Copies of this chain bind each other. A is one copy, B any other.
């Protein structure tokens, strides 16, 4: 079998040959967030059943408020912030690990005056996220602190 192993050398949260990408193109319920596809999207990485991405949120920014069947495995590698996870808000610091279980509403926030950067692993084949409407939000989020944190 051909050796397709590789190293992506890193320099200050950028990686060889890995471009900064637009976070999402189909929705706009997010702010100041970049996406870097590190492993699992290239032709020579098809042996991977999952994808490793790096997301970086500028201070004051946030990811899309969404839920889906596929779970997320996340580890913070830069800065701090918080995450809306179902009906709760949790602070996040360096190297904290987040498991977003199936169907759990979630949104990452760089709300601590610095960037929030994290590695996120997902299945290669996965369902598309659902963006909740106002009615659904009222059903899913009962806690005032969480409702105040959410951005749409």
Chain A residues close to B by CB (< 8 Å)? 1-10, 13, 15, 38-40, 44-45, 47-50, 52, 71, 73, 75-77, 83, 85-86, 90, 92-104, 106, 119, 121, 123
How many copies of this chain are found per oligomer? 2
Are A6 and B40 closer than 8 Å at their CB atoms?
A: no
* Bound CA span A39–B74, Å: 9
Hey, which chain B residues are within 8 Å of A99, CB to CB? 4-8, 39, 45, 48
The winner among A2, A7, A50, A119 for most chain B CB atoms within 10 A is: A7
Q: Cβ of A95: which chain B residues have Cβ within 8 Å of it?
A: 10, 13, 15, 77
Bound: A102/B48 CA distance, A: 9
Interface centre among A1, A8, A90, A101 (most CB of B within 10 A): A101
Give the docked Cα–Cα distance between A48 and B44 (Å).
24
In the bound assembly, the distance between CA atoms of A98 and B10 in angstroms comes to 11
Query: Which residues does chain B contribute within 8 Å of A52, judged by CB atoms?
Result: 73, 75, 97, 121
Q: A73-B40, A73-B50 are in contact. Are A7 and B85 (CB under 8 A)?
A: yes
Docked CA distance A98–B7 (Å): 5
Q: Tell me whether B73 and A7 are in contact (CB under 8 A).
A: no
Known pairs A10-B94, A39-B99, A40-B73 / 10 extra A-B pairs, C-beta < 8 Å: A4-B99, A6-B98, A7-B85, A7-B99, A9-B93, A15-B95, A39-B97, A50-B50, A52-B73, A52-B97
